[in-house]
Amino acid sequence: MAVRPQTTPPPTPTFLKISFPVPRVVVVRMDRPNRLNAMSTTGQWEMDSIWKWFDQEPNLSVAIITGTGRAFSAGADLKEWNQSMSSDVDPSKRMGNAPAFKPLSRRLGKKPVIAAVNGLAMGGGMEFVANCDLVVASKDAYFGLPEVKRGISPIGGALPRLIRTLGLQRASEFALTGRNISAQEAYDWGIVNRLVEKDQVLPEAIKLAESIAVNSPDAIICTRAGLREGWETASVERAVELTLEREFAELQRGENILEGLKAFSEKRQPRWKASRL
């Protein structure tokens, strides 16, 4: 099946490279290998633009984020951050304070993102991983939040998210010591879904994305919303209520629920329409 064209043109970034390997899936590659894919402020604004476009593009259901070279991402560009601290830059616009600092690590969004961790994921790169819906990692990848070693703090959303994923004690050990953990340890702790050889990271992530993208676009959005509400809110019952009132109510007004039920009855594959959620 040919990859369907997008109804809205994607942004044209320079730090990020975009490709469409299979239908309804986009790969977003951080492409600054000489700086371990560390993000400048410009790169962070590009990320912000890409994720907004992805959520609004009706012909896409799943995104994959990966890196070029030996790194997934070393996080924020600390050299630029240091320069902004010692210059006359408005404090509200410095790297750590700019709205673009939260392009993925604090993204709520409505569609799933898979991290294809091809190498080191440090600082902001690790914060991206902590907020992705699924994670495929190279067996030789490693992860860390070294901010405490640099006089900074990982304030991009990873700390409360890691509490929910790892529990207080493991999250505290990871963040307060600033030590690196191996891909195997990340897998054992529940941060990583699948461990593969380095050359299989992106193919495995695409395979995983495709297994999601063949499903109803409306159901993907609704199901992810239910998962996220359960992760973000304290009450299970309230999370269910919110999803019923919003995404599930919209799902029931759409064409895909009718198509899915009809296809089941007729014992055929469903023919999904672009999501309107």
What would the two tokens of residue 195 be?
């461990």
In angstroms, the Cα distances linking 42 to 46, 50, 63, 151 are: 6, 12, 21, 23
127 is catalytic: yes
Catalytic-role residue among 80, 147, 204, 229: 147
How many angstroms separate the CA atoms of 153 and 119, rounded? 22
How many angstroms separate the CA atoms of 44 and 211, rounded? 29
Identify which of 258, 101, 237 has the alpha carbon closest to the alpha carbon of residue 229.
237
Catalytic-role residue among 76, 183, 213, 239: 76
DSSP annotation of 248 reads: I
Identify which of 149, 59, 54 has the alpha carbon closest to the alpha carbon of residue 110.
54
Q: What does the DSSP assignment read for 123-188?
A: THHHHHHHHSSEEEEETT-EEE-GGGGGT---TTTHHHHHHHHH-HHHHHHHHHH--EEEHHHHHH
How many angstroms separate the CA atoms of 109 and 154, rounded? 21
Q: What is the CA radius of gyration of the chain?
A: 19
Residues 6+ apart with CB under 8 A from 55: 109, 110, 111
121 is catalytic: no
Residue linked to tokens 């390997």: 21
Catalytic-role residue among 46, 57, 80, 127: 127
Catalytic-role residue among 124, 125, 156, 254: 124
Residue 65 CA to its chain's centroid (Å): 6
Task: Answer yes or no: are the C-beta atoms of 80 and 95 closer than 8 Å.
Answer: yes
What would the two tokens of residue 201 be?
């990271």
How many angstroms separate the CA atoms of 29 and 48, rounded? 14
Active site residues: 76, 124, 127, 147
